[in-house]
C-alpha cells in the first residue's frame, strides 16, 4: 500500500507538470506546429525544432501521464478495498483518455475555441481527480479515520464555494486564452486608460491604439468583456479568500493542517495575482503566462485539499451537512 500511496502522488505531480507544459503550447502559439495526430508529421518522434518542441513535447508528457494513470487505475483495482476509490481511479483514466482525444481533435479541426476550452477545463478536472485519489490513499486520511474528525459545516460550505469560484475563474481563463483575449485590456491597473471601464467605442479605440503600438492584433468588445470578467473574478476570489481564512481560523484554531493549508492557499493566491499582473505587463511572455496557468491549477488543487481536510470521512455525512 505504501508504494501505491507514493505512486498516486507521482501521478498527481506529473499532472501538474503536464498543465504547465500544455500552457506553454498555447503561450507560444505552437498548437498547430504539428498538424497531424496521433503521429507527428507521420513520425513517432519528429525533429524537436521550433514549435514542434512544445507541441510534440506536450504529447510525450501527456502520453506518460496517461500511462501512469492506467497503471494507477489497475493497481487500485487489484489492491484497494474501497469500491468508490476503484471507480474514481477508472474515472481518472477515462478523463485522461478523453483529454487525449480532445487534444487530437483540437489539432485536426484547427484549434476550434469550444474544443480547446473543453480541453483546458478537462485538464483541471483530471487534476482534481488525481488529488482526491492521492489524498484518499494518504497516511493523513488513514489517521483521520482512526481518530475521527471534527467538522464545521459552515466552513466546509465556504470552502466548497471558494473551490467552485476558482474553477469558474479557470473556465473564464481558458475562454480568454483560446479567444485570444489575454491582452484585450493591455494596461494595468487601469483598463483601457480608465480606472472604471466604460465599454464604449472610445474605450475600444484606446485599447486598439495601445495594441497597435505593441504590434498586436486588434480586439473586439466581447474580447474586452471576457478579459474584464477575468479581472473582476480575481478580485472576488481575493475578497472571498479573506472571508474563508477568517472563518477557518475561527472554526479550526487548533487544527494545524487546516491553518497551514489556509496559509498556503493565501500564498498561492497572492502569487497568482502577481503573475496575472506581470502577464499583462510583459505582454504575455510565454513563461510568465504558463506560470500563471499552472499556478491557477495549484490554487484549485489547494482549494480541493482544504475541502478534503475539513470534510467528513463518509459521503453520507456530507449529504446531511448540505441539507441543513
The per-residue pLDDT for 317 is 60
State whether 114 and 154 are in the same domain. no
The per-residue pLDDT for 91 is 97
More confident residue, 104 or 255: 104
207 has a pLDDT exceeding 70: yes
CA distances from 15 to 11, 99, 128, 132 (A): 6, 12, 10, 13
Specify whether the backbone of 220 is left (phi greater than 0), alpha (psi in -120 to 50) or beta. beta
In 3D space, the residue among 193, 194, 175, 184 whose CA is nearest the CA of residue 216 turns out to be: 184
Residues 178-205, mean pLDDT to the nearest whole number: 93
Last residue of a domain, one of 113, 137, 161: 137
Distance CA 120, CA 99 (A): 9
Q: What is the pLDDT of residues 282-311, one digit of tens each?
A: 999 999 999 999 999 999 999 999 999 988
Q: What is the pLDDT of residues 211-236, one digit of tens each?
A: 999 999 999 999 999 999 999 999 99
State whether 159 and 308 are in the same domain. yes
Distance CA 157, CA 85 (A): 23
Q: How many domains does the chain have?
A: 2
State whether 197 and 127 are in the same domain. no
Does some domain include residue 49?
A: yes
Distance CA 122, CA 62 (A): 13
8 Å CB contact between 64 and 88 = no
Question: What's the domain range around 159?
Answer: 149-324
Confidence (pTM) = 0.93
Question: For residue 17, what is its C-alpha cell?
Answer: 507538470
Does some domain include residue 4?
A: yes
Q: What is the pLDDT of residues 102-127, one digit of tens each?
A: 999 998 888 888 999 999 999 999 99
**Alpha-helical regions (H) of the chain:** 2-27, 51-79, 83-108, 113-136, 139-147, 153-178, 201-213, 221-251, 256-281, 286-310, 315-323
State whether 108 and 170 are in the same domain. no
Distance CA 168, CA 121 (A): 10
CA distances from 179 to 55, 166, 183, 226, 314 (A): 19, 20, 11, 9, 41
Distance CA 239, CA 287 (A): 28
Distance CA 29, CA 4 (A): 38
State whether 6 and 60 are in the same domain. yes
Does some domain include residue 142?
A: no
Amino acid at each position: 500500500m505504501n508504494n501505491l500511496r507514493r505512486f498516486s502522488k507521482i501521478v498527481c505531480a506529473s499532472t501538474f507538470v503536464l498543465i504547465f507544459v500544455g500552457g506553454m503550447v498555447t503561450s507560444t502559439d505552437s498548437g498547430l506546429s504539428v498538424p497531424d495526430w496521433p503521429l507527428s508529421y507521420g513520425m513517432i518522434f519528429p525533429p524537436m525544432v521550433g514549435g514542434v518542441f512544445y507541441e510534440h513535447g506536450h504529447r510525450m508528457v501527456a502520453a506518460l501521464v496517461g500511462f501512469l494513470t492506467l497503471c494507477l487505475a489497475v493497481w487500485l483495482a487489484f489492491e484497494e478495498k474501497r469500491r468508490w476509490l476503484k471507480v474514481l481511479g477508472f474515472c481518472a483514466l477515462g478523463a485522461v483518455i478523453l483529454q487525449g482525444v480532445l487534444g487530437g481533435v483540437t489539432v485536426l479541426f484547427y484549434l476550434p475555441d469550444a474544443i480547446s476550452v473543453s480541453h483546458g477545463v478537462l485538464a483541471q478536472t483530471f487534476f482534481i481527480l488525481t488529488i482526491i485519489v492521492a489524498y484518499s490513499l494518504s497516511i493523513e486520511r488513514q489517521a483521520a479515520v482512526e481518530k475521527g474528525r471534527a467538522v464545521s459545516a459552515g466552513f466546509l460550505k465556504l470552502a466548497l464555494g471558494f473551490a467552485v469560484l476558482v474553477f469558474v475563474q479557470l473556465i473564464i481563463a481558458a475562454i480568454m486564452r483560446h479567444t485570444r483575449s489575454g491582452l484585450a485590456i493591455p494596461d494595468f491597473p487601469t483598463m483601457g486608460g480608465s480606472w472604471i471601464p466604460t465599454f464604449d467605442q472610445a474605450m475600444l479605440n484606446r485599447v486598439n491604439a495601445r495594441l497597435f503600438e505593441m504590434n498586436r492584433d486588434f480586439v473586439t468588445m466581447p474580447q474586452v468583456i471576457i478579459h474584464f470578467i477575468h479581472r473582476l473574478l480575481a478580485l472576488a476570489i481575493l475578497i472571498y479568500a479573506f472571508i474563508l481564512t477568517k472563518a477557518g481560523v475561527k472554526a479550526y484554531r487548533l487544527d494545524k493542517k487546516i491553518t497551514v493549508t489556509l496559509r498556503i492557499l493565501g500564498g498561492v493566491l497572492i502569487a497568482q495575482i502577481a503573475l496575472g499582473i506581470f502577464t499583462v505587463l510583459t505582454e504575455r511572455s510565454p513563461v510568465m503566462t504558463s506560470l500563471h496557468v499552472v499556478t491557477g491549477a495549484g490554487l484549485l488543487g489547494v482549494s480541493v485539499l482544504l475541502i478534503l481536510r475539513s470534510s467528513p470521512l463518509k459521503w453520507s455525512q456530507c449529504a446531511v451537512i448540505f441539507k441543513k
